[in-house]
Structure 1
């Protein structure tokens, strides 16, 4: 999710054509002043601020640890609730008058949907000031609808890493691929050498099942068709049925639909949908799986003691390379991130939202491990993990072409709905043409 800066050093990451229908330009509004009307507390501070999001388990514990000292100092009790059905439930709760004070949105498109229906408060001045100081115009645009800023970015990740064991590569005499074709050759070599499927894949994520598959497609659209076509796809200037999108599905299918290549440690192709996305971390750690496609945040899953406590690094148990481009030397990556939006506008909620948009919070959370942030007040040394440092290096490279996760920018009914279920249907055997037609038909009419 991301472009990185440090102490006002602007990094020229290419993030153009940000989301057409969903996000229309950078934020020029300073947001609200804390006195706007809206759902939730509407001005009554009670010393408690509720936050709703998708971050769970160990990551949720780290999130709560990141603001614990601030809570004590400011006498505000932050109550975080994780939900695996966030994408569906946050809208239901907003419509039913039971919205949290704050929500952490993984999809800017979903935030934009709710903002367009006046459920989300415009960002108060303190948050808007932090966004202006610590975040790029691109990130401000992700948190905006039209010219109004509705939230502040939170954490970030670089997507499209392929995780592997350096010792296994050495044993098999294979190298990290530099092109997509080389990665296909690598896959075939490992399959022939070991007699088993190289890739482990998990699309399972309860109500959000299917989202890891969209990351594969987005990587291939950007690498095969280029950033301009990617932007046109995000804004629906070209439909899902466009040949460029079908080509990306065909390329991904060379791996995911091949029973000789998946699903190491879990079954055949059909097991992809029923394998929770975090479970391949264990298969990587114990050597059952040779290759796994997942974002930089997966570092935390791999090193989690519950998954075997494997180490991550160039010379450690597990390392990663970025999904290679079609031609050698390509430098396009996708990423994602979260946006914190407010349903309430009381003094306590505003204070917490402002803190979460600050450099102070970014350094607190990143220093605990597992994540990075695009906050330009972040000290890179706070990221102690080698893969997170690698992610920052990629993002700070001026030659990097970066694009935000496409499904996260699309309208929620598409990006957090039909695209996810379409990936599940595709794995289950539905034809590519039928899947693409169904997804495209879900796009809201103007």
Structure 2
């Protein structure tokens, strides 16, 4: 990953060069476009390679900054008035806040035409209809991983909830997926968009269903899950995955498609989570997904052009070609040849033709303060699943929901998105 001076420092150096009239100090080359994103390791390398091949001879280059602390990094850059040209975020809630506060630039018409609805919604900001982000890739979340040959009759669930500043999200994924398959996309959307109380019976049942699936756990196993990364224990070649980690006598894991990179080459199979979640048959065709959306933070026209090229079919094909099967990006519509890797092929088939409905990750849609409270509540519930404790947690979440809703309603110049679910074809 190439490092470049901050935009403010580059501007200062250019001005100093021109004022000093240094020989040979002519018109400076255009600054590299800075892209901030969530991918590191092999994922980051594949994306950076895709960026490099976008060079069209204009002399414009791109610098990718990948970080696991994406929100904190972006906030600090915004506070320093030195934002990236393009940022790739997975939270519609955060993107909505940035749009409402005037930090995002509306996308050009050519980009919005390929935006997958409803995850790239048209927002009303200051009375104008605008689109501010476009999904680059998605990951299927309604999945269960297990060692081939393991019985599905009485699964022992792997759970690792630690994830730095966002610890708890593997648990929110559980609750979201259970609610989607028990109550359906309409109830799921109403809850995610704060139109439904956290104390609604359907929401409460999702929490108690999760506790029932996990079964009785010892204090030692609870602490191990709370302090172990969702990636599992570290091995000599990187994370080993929870199914391969010592101390986890488990047979099944509920986790997103991205986790396949820790199981590359292992004898691990994947199947839809609906088979385990005690929901009606009508909702088995619904799948939860997460998305990585590109948004423009600068006025540089080249930033718009970059997002347009990344979201194009050619951009997708180039990205896939640069990535190994274990980290190859997934899209909500079929693209390119049928994957040769069996795990990738299974997930791609479920995503593009097996699903009737795709619903965006609920917590990634919530206002940041409500999402963070949800993460914390999951950790507390995992430690103590008593009914009285759950009632207290749900009351607290309802209070945060009400406050966030009132704050958003006070800004009449803005209307957030209303829908989260759509067919795979958009």
Equivalent position to 2:270, from 279, 296, 320: 320
CA distance in 2: counterparts of 1:145 and 1:293, whole angstroms: 37
Alpha-carbon displacement from aligned partner over 1:192-227 (angstroms, at most 9, x marks no partner): xxxxxx322111111111111111000111111122
CA distance in 1: counterparts of 2:373 and 2:334, whole angstroms: 37
Give the direction of change, closer, same or farther, for the CA distance of 1:93–1:336 in structure 2 (3 Å limit): same
Instruction: Provide the secondary structure at the position in 2 that maps to 1:442.
Output: helix
**Alpha-carbon shift at residue 51 of structure 1 (Å):** 1.5
- What is the match of residue 391 of structure 1? 347
Which stretches of structure 1, 4 residues or more, deviate above 6 A after TM superposition? Answer: none
**Alpha-carbon shift at residue 144 of structure 1 (Å):** 4.8
Give the direction of change, closer, same or farther, for the CA distance of 1:340–1:145 in structure 2 (3 Å limit): farther
Structure 2 residue 248 is the aligned partner of structure 1 residue 293: no
**Alpha-carbon shift at residue 64 of structure 1 (Å):** 1.0
Equivalent position to 1:235, from 185, 188, 193: 193
Structure 2 residue 146 is the aligned partner of structure 1 residue 140: no
- What is the match of residue 131 of structure 2? 149
- What is the match of residue 251 of structure 1? 209
CA distance in 2: counterparts of 1:407 and 1:45, whole angstroms: 42
In the TM superposition, 1:77-88 aligns within 5 A as 77-88=61-72
Alpha-carbon displacement from aligned partner over 1:100-158 (angstroms, at most 9, x marks no partner): 11111111111111111000110123423xxx2x44332432x7566310021111111
- What is the match of residue 111 of structure 2? 127
- What is the match of residue 4 of structure 2? none
Contact 1:144 1:151 in 2 (8 A): no
What is the CA RMSD across the aligned residues, in angstroms?
A: 2.7
**Alpha-carbon shift at residue 91 of structure 1 (Å):** 3.2
**Alpha-carbon shift at residue 379 of structure 1 (Å):** 1.5
Structure number with greater Rg is 2
Instruction: Provide the secondary structure at the position in 2 that maps to 1:46.
Output: coil
In the TM superposition, 1:185-204 aligns within 5 A as 185-187=153-155, 198-204=156-162
- What is the match of residue 408 of structure 1? 364
Give the direction of change, closer, same or farther, for the CA distance of 1:58–1:248 in structure 2 (3 Å limit): same
CA distance in 1: counterparts of 2:180 and 2:37, whole angstroms: 28
**Alpha-carbon shift at residue 72 of structure 1 (Å):** 7.0
In the TM superposition, 1:363-374 aligns within 5 A as 363-367=317-321, 368=323, 369=325, 370-374=327-331
CA distance in 1: counterparts of 2:332 and 2:309, whole angstroms: 12
Aligned length: 358
Q: Give the number of the structure with larger relative contact order, counting CA–CA contacts within 8 Å between residues 6 or more apart.
A: 1
Gaps in structure 2 of 5+ consecutive residues: 1-9, 12-27, 234-239, 410-426
- What is the match of residue 422 of structure 1? 377
**Alpha-carbon shift at residue 333 of structure 1 (Å):** 1.3
After alignment, is 363-372 or 199-208 more displaced? Answer: 363-372
TM-score by length of 2: 0.76
Gaps in structure 1 of 5+ consecutive residues: 1-39, 177-184, 188-197, 304-309, 312-316
Instruction: Provide the secondary structure at the position in 2 that maps to 1:79.
Output: strand
Instruction: Provide the secondary structure at the position in 2 that maps to 1:114.
Output: helix
Instruction: Provide the secondary structure at the position in 1 that maps to 2:157.
Output: coil
Structure 2 residue 241 is the aligned partner of structure 1 residue 282: yes
After alignment, is 396-405 or 153-162 more displaced? Answer: 396-405
Contact 2:133 2:293 in 1 (8 A): yes
